[in-house]
Amino acid sequence: MTPMRKRALAAQACIDRFRGRAYEPGKADCVQLAKHCLHHLGRRVGQGKLPAYSTEIGGLKALKRLGFNSLVEALDGVGLQRIAPAMTLPGDLMALPTEHPLGALAVAVGNGRVIGFLEGEKGAVIMQPHAFVAAWRTL
């Protein structure tokens, strides 16, 4: 399987699993979305890197126990290569601006679009963000 095909399948798996699914910390949120994508690309991320939690506060506390202040720091800690947001390919991860102390992650699905959880929406949506914090190459 070509790398682009693998990327496309990983992005589609994220769409299939999370699009329209209601936000639920620890089960259906941006961390689970990113982990799902990485899993489909064959990248193993242990619980020690992105810990389990059931509330946003619990997630933030778990990150802090691991020495991270945000999801951006945690993804850098996983060892993914940072790239310019304009260079993302399907299946790459992006951090979007948010006021939440954890941060917000999304998965690139192609053509400048991402799937992620957006405040005010009932579930994960495909959107075309206009601002970015960081991006990582996943494959």
This model's pTM is above 0.75: yes
Residue 34: pLDDT over 80: yes
Sign of the CA dihedral running 74, 79, 82, 88: negative
CA distance 68 to 70: 6
Cross-strand pairs, 96: 104
| Most trustworthy range by pLDDT among 44-53, 104-113, 119-128 | 104-113
Which residue did the predictor score with more confidence, 18 or 62? Answer: 18
CA distance 25 to 4: 30
HSE-CB for 55 with a 13 A CA cutoff? 3
Residue 30's nearest CA partner among 111, 130, 112, 98 is 98
DSSP 59-87: HHHHHHHTT-SSHHHHHHHHTPEEE-GGG
pLDDT tens by residue, 36-83? 999 999 987 665 555 678 988 888 888 888 888 889 998 898 889 999
